Chain A
Amino acid sequence: MIVAAHYGRLRRLCRLLLGDPQEAEDVVQEVFLKAHEAERLARAPMDWGAWLTRVAVNGCRDRRRAGGWMRFRLRSTHIDDLPLVADTPAPSEAAISEDTRRRIWAAFRDLPRRQQEVFALRYIEEQPTTDVAQALGLSPGSVKRHLYRAVRHLRRALGDAR
């Protein structure tokens, strides 16, 4: 039940934060293992969503900290992520130019880790500022400042593409 409700969004969040589908998959598996353990030990949280998000973000941080070597290798693509039919882009991708997409992704990767997390939770996960603050252990004011800097940086990258 929990897995069905949260698997997709956690996978997307971890992929966004790690940039590696395989690593993201591993982190999500670990998150659900921890959730299972918490439930078994009768330590289930009141709000599974916030709990899972916090554990996933921490898992991604640990991965990034431990896997410094990964930054130097070519990022691989998991077999599931390869396009199945020819090279025709998905409609959403076709509507946005290749250059714009490349710039936005590069700008996102340029952001400091904390700003990436705040942006992903606030705008991609569409969580309210207070929930983002709680998940990341920040004050709401700090979340807003990180968000402001992240949006400014991303918009500039978009501006350059025009």
Chain B
Amino acid sequence: MSPCLSDDALERVHADLGSIAERAHLAGCAACTGRSRRMRRDLDLITAVLRETREPLTHVAPVRRRWIPAAVGLSVAALALLVWVEVAVWRAVTPVPATMQPQEVAAILSDVSASLFSVNGDPVRSTADDGPLTLEGMARDVDSTLTGDEP
């Protein structure tokens, strides 16, 4: 004789989904028949409750959206990862540009100025050699360029 049916198999037989072998076993096995009767009683109880009793007053559960906590968690994790990459990794591998000294900046600016105000392609003499840039000096340079006089 075949081994007794599992609960799952018994429920399949109840739903008329059981195989011929399972049904044959149920017909000949007292233990399984007893369990099947118990199952039938459970079903009777369930139908009696649904048919004859009032549904308890409860807050209806909102639509279960199980993906929301997971999505929020993933978003937070992604954001944290992004911040960490920015702070710890990106800054570590990106070379910090060397800062220039004020004198170098002044020299570059005066070169640019000389190129802009050059006459006949001859660059105006850089004022960086004469010392730091001053407003008066720059005004003098502009005047001389406009009048054509050498400063």
Does B111 belong to the interface (CB within 8 Å)? no
Chain A nearest CB from B122 CB (Å) reads: 81
Measured in the bound complex, the distance between the Cα atoms of B138 and A142 in whole Å is 92
Given contacts A71-B62, A72-B62, contact A145 B15 (CB under 8 A): yes
Mark contacts of B92-111 with chain A using CB atoms, 8 A cut-off: 1 yes-contact digit, 0 otherwise. 00000000000000000000
Report the 9 A-B pairs with minimum CB-CB distance, sorted nearest first.
A148-B15, A92-B52, A104-B49, A123-B47, A147-B15, A144-B15, A93-B53, A154-B46, A105-B55
Among residues of B, the one whose C-beta sits closest to the C-beta of A19 is B55
Given contacts A92-B48, A155-B39, A155-B42, contact A148 B62 (CB under 8 A): no
Interface of A is mostly: helix
Does A79 belong to the interface (CB within 8 Å)? no
Q: Are B50 and A124 within 8 A (Cβ)? A: yes
Q: How many A-B residue pairs have CB under 8 A?
A: 89
Q: How many residues of B contact A (CB 8 A)?
A: 29
Task: List residues of A (69-113) whose CB comes within 8 Å of B's CBs.
Answer: 70-75, 77, 81, 90, 92-93, 96, 98, 100-102, 104-106, 108-109
**CB-defined contacts of B8 to chain A, threshold 8 Å:** 152
Residues of B at the A interface (CB closer than 8 Å) are 8, 11-12, 14-17, 39, 42-43, 45-63
Residues of A at the B interface (CB closer than 8 Å) are 12, 16, 19, 68, 70-75, 77, 81, 90, 92-93, 96, 98, 100-102, 104-106, 108-109, 120, 123-124, 129, 144-145, 147-148, 151-152, 154-155, 158
